[in-house]
Structure 1
């Protein structure tokens, strides 16, 4: 499988990674999906301390324990849970990050994390303190590199300007092209984008549209009504006759050089195989790519710009 460099780091990740959030709570099933992903050539696994209260990290740790050196392991920090408090709350403080990383290392059964990501963030955060925490963890050898997971333009601009992040995780797909506005800035600063949600909640897969959730049937998806989706999806097939919808979706994301990897989730091995087949499909032609852009909406983030 082809690999891409994340930013200026020495992390070379498979063009498709495994978003581990959808592995579920059944250990045997979760481990089998991770094992299959690695056997298929995926070397990049993305989890978070938030997922199932750390259980997800535990499963990933068990799955990679005997092949740790073959894996680029990414996790996230910033969401905090304390008994007696109402739900998760946001804490990007230096003290919490340096405490939370120890818990992630224990659950992942490793002594270092390849890519440690801030799991959100606002412009009101003490960004300098957060960066200091990540830089100290790098110096200590606990993490190799760090990045952020954010769709907020003002937060992204601050981290690109002030930090040595190598990656920005953003929801990005053919049906959610909002990140494209920022690709030039990100690329100029030699940072990579990690595209989560490339399948747009399964809308860009082989699953029939009538199997979509009731919420999508009633409310549509982002800027698209259900009726618009019903007209658009067949058009995508017409524009890319040599590709399945899944292939077109994943190859669309990978067309941009700034994309380091796409990380769809998979709750079944069959889904995983379809995703891997898609990334191994031939790239879109320039004409196909431009036509896909012409028939889809290039929306922009309206909030968090200042």
Structure 2
């Protein structure tokens, strides 16, 4: 796995990290044994950054990572997130960017991960009731104390990114980005990260699995898989979205790769962008890692732009409540 700078503050990791969310939350049945094997296989393949968050479980994902990597802990960079309040007994509340909550969450994540330091610490969602300067003033103190190395923010608007970065330099901005979700190209987020020298970290670069072409119906998902309530998986939207995937599949077949690999390679070909495709299985991990070696020509990129232009996806990427928490 090729290593690259994640931003301009000193963090280096592979061009692909591993999104660990689905190992413990939101994507149906858990298999901790296979997830643990996937975490170890990722490191063997050169995937050196694992992305998690306290709300994945809650806490289950951080705890899985903490007990799994053990003696190999120093070989990984760990990114985790806070800013959505969770009580110690797992009750999820709204966004909370207050210094007091951030301190509580930091100490708890360190315990769960079994580490003294978090490599990359994100604000998961912006708290509209707390000035971002107050939030990142507290986060900057964590860096000064040596408990955090680098800072990031997730799903933030360009002006919020600028204000946070002015308070304490950011290494990463994480936002959904894929052939189905190209909003960052038009809302100023990508331009902002490129201007400021911040890594743009694409989550769900496979369109939550849609771009792999492996799922043709929401009925294939587990009963508790959150995608069942995702607008892009609703019947009429899904039919339109799968028609786009078919166009991507045709280009992929001509190159001798899978649709998912092509979609991931497209993300990695964008300037200043790294990706954290998520999986809980070694087979999909290996497929994703192979995508980092795919070269795309100008003709390939033009063909993908034609079949998957900005705004091509049918349906919002979250239900209404979820959309209220993005681009703040």
TM-score, normalisation: structure 1:
0.89
RMSD: 2.8
How far apart are 1:227 and its partner, in Å?
3.3
CA deviation profile, 1:215-257 (whole Å, cap 9, x unmatched): 77995459x9333223322222333421321111111101112
8 Å Cα contact 1:217/1:226 also seen in 2: no
* Match among 230, 239, 251 for residue 239 of structure 1: 251
- May I ask how many residue pairs the two structures share in their alignment? 303
8 Å Cα contact 1:166/1:191 also seen in 2: yes
What is the distance in 1 between the residues matched to 2:156 and 2:164? 12
Determine whether 1:277 maps to 2:290: yes
CA deviation profile, 1:158-208 (whole Å, cap 9, x unmatched): 334543111000001001111112312210110111110011121111415
8 Å Cα contact 1:218/1:226 also seen in 2: no
* Match among 37, 49, 53 for residue 58 of structure 2: 53
8 Å Cα contact 1:6/1:13 also seen in 2: yes
CA deviation profile, 1:136-167 (whole Å, cap 9, x unmatched): 11111110000011154453343345431110
What is the distance in 2 between the residues matched to 1:273 and 1:58? 24
What is the distance in 1 between the residues matched to 2:88 and 2:108? 16
What is the distance in 1 between the residues matched to 2:311 and 2:45? 35
How far apart are 1:93 and its partner, in Å?
0.7
**Matched ranges for 1:8-157 at <5 A:** 8-24=8-24, 25-82=30-87, 87-157=92-162
Structure 1 residues 305 and 218: CA distance shift in structure 2, 3 A:
closer
Structure 1 residues 297 and 213: CA distance shift in structure 2, 3 A:
farther
* Match among 200, 205, 214 for residue 207 of structure 1: 214
**Matched position secondary structure for 1:75:** strand
TM-score, normalisation: structure 2:
0.83
What is the distance in 2 between the residues matched to 1:58 and 1:210? 32
What is the distance in 1 between the residues matched to 2:111 and 2:207? 33
**Matched position secondary structure for 1:146:** strand
What is the distance in 1 between the residues matched to 2:269 and 2:145? 36
* Match among 186, 190, 195 for residue 188 of structure 1: 195
**Matched position secondary structure for 1:201:** helix
What is the distance in 2 between the residues matched to 1:239 and 1:72? 34
How far apart are 1:30 and its partner, in Å?
2.5
What is the distance in 2 between the residues matched to 1:171 and 1:46? 14
Structure 1 residues 16 and 305: CA distance shift in structure 2, 3 A:
closer
Determine whether 1:178 maps to 2:183: yes
8 Å Cα contact 1:116/1:143 also seen in 2: yes
What is the distance in 2 between the residues matched to 1:176 and 1:126? 28
* Match among 298, 303, 312 for residue 286 of structure 1: 298
Structure 1 residues 236 and 149: CA distance shift in structure 2, 3 A:
same
How far apart are 1:53 and its partner, in Å?
2.0
Unaligned runs of 5+ in 2: 25-29, 222-226, 317-322
What is the distance in 1 between the residues matched to 2:56 and 2:115? 18
Q: Which moved more, 1:140-149 or 1:153-162?
A: 153-162
8 Å Cα contact 2:84/2:96 also seen in 1: yes
Unaligned runs of 5+ in 1: none
8 Å Cα contact 1:173/1:198 also seen in 2: yes
